C-alpha cells in the first residue's frame, strides 16, 4: 500500500519518531493517522517494557539555578550518542523547570510524574531512559560548574557573591573530588578506620614505635588532606591550599553538591 508522503510528514511532526516508523504505523493502519497514533503509543509502551531492562551506563548531568536555589539532575541512557540528542536535553530541562515551579525534590514522585513522557522518549530514541538522581542546594550565594561533556556538575554555597571565584572552586571540586569541606566534617569512624589501616601497614616495616607513630600520623594527615576541600592544593595554583585561596578572598564554602555519572557526593 502506497502511503501519502504528506501523512508521513504530519505523523512525524506529531510524534517526532523516524520517517520509517511513521510509514510502518500508517501501513499497519491503512493510512489512518488517528489509528497510526494509537498504534505508535501501543508500540512505544511495548518497546519501553523491553528497553527498561537494558543497562543505562551513559547519561547527562543537567543544572538549573535561580537566585537562591540550585538543582543538579542526572538522566541516564544506554549510549553516548543519545546523551547528545536534543530530546533528552529537553526532557531533562522540562523536569528541572517542574521542580523549580512546584518546589518538588522527591525523585520517586518526579519519576511518576514524568513516566509517561519517559516511555514516549524510549519509543523515539530506541533505548532505555532513566531519571536517576537529583540533588539541590539552597542559599543566598550559589555558584556552579558543569563540565563540557555534561558528565559531572558541581554547585557550591558561599558567603560572598562572586561568580568567578565560585566557579573556580566548583571546577576544583569537579576535578579533585573532595569528600568533605573541613577535617571536622569527616565522620569519626572514617578517621578510625583509616588509622587502623595505616597502623597495620606501618607495623609490617618492623620499625621502632616512634617511627611507626610518625609513619601513621604522616599517612593519616595525607589521607585527610586528600579528602577535604580546604586542605587540598588549589587546582589553579598549587602553591597554596584551597583554604589559603579562600582566605585571601574573604570567602568561605558553606556547602557543596556534586553529581558525576556513577557516583554521588553531597557534602556540608
- Tens-digit pLDDT profile for residues 210-232: 888 899 999 999 999 999 999 99
* CA atoms of 15 and 69, how far apart (whole Å): 34
Q: Domain ranges in the chain?
A: 5-51, 54-138
DSSP β-bridge partners for residue 263: 260
CATH class of residue range 54-138:
alpha beta
Can you give the pLDDT at residue 190?
94
Query: How many CB atoms are closer than 10 A to CB 4?
Result: 11
Q: Which CATH superfamily is domain 5-51 in?
A: Ubiquitin-associated (UBA) domain (1.10.8.10)
Quick one: which H or E segment has residue 221?
helix 209-227
* Greatest CA separation for the chain: 90
With 80 as the cut, is the pLDDT of residue 16 above it?
Answer: no
Kindly give, in sequence order, each residue whose CB lies less than 8 Å from that of residue 173, ignoring residues fewer than 6 positions away: 145, 154, 156, 229, 256, 258
- What's the mean pLDDT in 71-83? 92
What is the pTM assigned to this prediction? 0.77
Q: What is the pLDDT of residues 157-189, one digit of tens each?
A: 999 999 999 999 999 999 999 999 999 999 999
With 50 as the cut, is the pLDDT of residue 19 above it?
Answer: yes
Q: Could you tell me if 130 and 76 are in contact, meaning their C-beta atoms sit under 8 angstroms apart? A: yes
Can you give the pLDDT at residue 233?
97
Can you give the pLDDT at residue 17?
66
User: 5-51 and 54-138: same fold?
Assistant: no
Can you give the pLDDT at residue 52?
53
Amino acid at each position: 500500500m502506497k502511503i501519502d508522503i504528506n501523512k508521513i510528514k504530519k505523523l512525524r511532526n506529531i510524534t517526532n519518531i523516524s520517517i520509517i516508523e511513521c510509514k510502518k504505523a500508517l501501513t499497519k493502519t491503512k493510512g489512518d493517522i488517528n489509528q497510526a497514533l494509537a498504534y505508535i503509543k501501543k508500540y512505544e509502551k511495548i518497546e519501553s517494557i523491553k528497553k527498561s531492562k537494558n543497562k543505562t551506563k551513559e547519561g547527562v548531568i543537567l543544572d538549573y539555578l535561580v537566585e537562591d536555589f540550585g538543582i543538579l539532575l542526572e538522566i541516564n541512557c544506554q549510549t553516548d550518542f543519545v546523551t547528545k540528542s536534543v530530546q533528552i536535553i529537553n526532557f531533562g530541562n522540562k523536569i528541572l523547570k517542574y521542580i523549580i515551579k512546584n518546589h518538588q525534590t522527591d525523585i520517586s514522585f518526579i519519576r511518576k510524574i514524568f513516566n509517561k513522557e519517559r516511555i514516549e522518549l524510549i519509543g523515539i530514541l530506541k533505548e532505555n531512559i532513566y531519571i536517576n538522581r537529583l540533588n539541590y542546594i539552597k542559599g543566598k550565594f550559589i555558584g556552579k560548574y558543569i563540565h563540557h561533556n555534561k558528565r559531572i556538575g558541581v554547585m557550591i554555597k558561599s558567603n560572598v557573591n562572586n561568580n568567578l571565584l565560585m566557579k573556580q572552586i566548583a571546577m576544583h571540586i569537579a576535578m579533585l573530588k573532595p569528600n568533605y569541606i573541613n577535617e571536622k566534617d569527616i565522620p569519626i569512624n572514617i578517621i578510625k578506620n583509616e588509622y587502623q589501616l595505616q597502623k597495620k601497614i606501618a607495623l609490617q616495616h618492623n620499625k621502632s614505635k616512634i617511627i611507626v607513630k610518625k609513619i601513621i600520623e604522616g599517612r593519616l594527615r595525607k589521607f585527610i588532606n586528600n579528602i577535604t576541600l580546604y586542605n587540598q592544593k588549589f587546582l589553579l595554583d598549587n602553591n597554596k591550599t584551597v583554604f589559603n585561596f579562600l582566605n585571601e578572598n574573604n570567602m568561605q564554602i558553606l556547602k557543596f553538591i556534586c553529581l558525576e555519572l556513577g557516583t554521588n557526593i553531597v557534602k556540608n
